[in-house]
Structure formats: structure tokens, C-alpha cells
Amino acid sequence: MSQYANQSVVVLAIPNGGVPVAIVVAGALKAELEVIISRKIPVPLNPEGGLGALTEDGTIIINEDVVRRDGITQEQIEYEASKVKASIKERCTKYKGDRPPVKISGQLAIIVDDGLASGITMMAAAESVRHWRPKELVVAVPIARESAVNQLRRVADRVVACAVASMPKFYLADYYRHWRDISDDEVVRLLEQWRRCQLH
């Protein structure tokens, strides 16, 4: 990422796991840091599965293959999306408060997460950021599934991953020495620490 060091950069973290990764990236590039909230829309009766993803500005991506395979109706999609929308609104308040949004138009925007499995939440985030007309849109993750990278190349100018895997069973946790879920409270604490550091 060193080629971006002298550009005007905003790093956008997808909570929760993307926040600690993005803080390192933003620090290395001396960039602005913001969160972009993109959440999976769960398959009805199977919350581990995802039928799509939704972002804070209402951008929605639907996995039509999953919808067809599971026979999911439009009413079910709207119901599940409404629950996710409420969760996103709550997180926006918690993570951003009443601070003005970071300027993205004309900037190099780098969206960061802790990895890409299906890539659907990143796809929604990338589509959302495109609406703000960044100068260049980069997706950056430590680990990614090859199929997700190929999908993201359709919406991002560049996809950067430290490692790309193509095996059928793919779990992000397998690529981390220490893997754990990041809580909402920890995200808030990390963001507050970052903001305090920027004041000094």
C-alpha cells in the first residue's frame, strides 16, 4: 500500500472486525478513518447464511442464487432487511454520533475488512462508496476467497489481499493466529482511541 502514502486518502472500516485492521492501515498511510456499516441480511431460519447485504445509505445487494435456491420471497427479503436496517441505524449512532461525515468525493477511498468470505458485505460497501464519487476505490483485506476477489474486481478499481485462497471450505478464522469476535463496545473504544491520537 506504500504507493498510496502521498495521496489524499480516506480509509473506511467495515465493523466489527475491519476496524482494528483499518486503524493500522490508516495509521501507516496517515489517512483519515471512518466506518462504513455494511451488514449481512440473514437467510430466514438460517442466520449463518446470507441472502444479501445492506449498508447505512440503503444500498442493497441481493444474492439471487441464494434467493432462488432457498425459495425466498420478496416479503421475506423485505422483512429481514428491515431488521438489519434497524441494527445499522443503532450502530451508526453508536460509532459515529453526530460527527460530520468524512469527505470521500475526489479522494482515494480504501475499504478495509478483516477478510472476504462470500464478499457480499464488501460488495454492498463498495457500491455505496461509489455513490460518493471517490477518485479511486480500493478494497483491502488480509485474506480473501478467490471467488470473492473476482466479484469485487467488478466494482473496485483494485483489490488488495495478503493471501487469496481457493479451497471449497473457507473460514477466515483459519488464517489468523488469534481469532475472536470484536464486540460493539470494543469498536467504540478503538475508534475513540484513534480520534484522541489524531488530536495530538
Pick the more confident residue, 32 or 100: 32
CATH fold for the domain made of 2-37+104-194: Rossmann fold (3.40.50)
Buried b (16+ CB within 10 A) or exposed e, 8-24: ebbbbbbbbbbbebbbe
Is the CATH number of domain 40-94 3.30.1310?
Answer: yes
**% of the chain at pLDDT higher than 70:** 96
Average pLDDT, integer, range 63-75: 92
Q: What is the pLDDT of residue 4?
A: 57
pLDDT at 49 > cutoff 90: no
The SS3 of residue 49 is strand
pTM: 0.92
Task: Give the residue extent of every domain in the chain.
Answer: 2-37+104-194, 40-94
- Residues 24 and 110: their CA atoms lie apart, in Å, by 13
Q: What are phi and psi of 185, to 5 degrees?
A: -60, -35
pLDDT tens-digit readout, 90-103? 999 999 888 888 89
Q: Work out the pLDDT band at 120, boundaries 50, 70, 90.
A: very high
Q: Work out the pLDDT band at 2, boundaries 50, 70, 90.
A: low
pLDDT tens-digit readout, 9-30? 999 999 999 999 999 999 999 9
Q: Work out the pLDDT band at 78, boundaries 50, 70, 90.
A: very high
Average pLDDT, integer, range 154-174: 88
Q: What is the pLDDT of residue 173?
A: 78
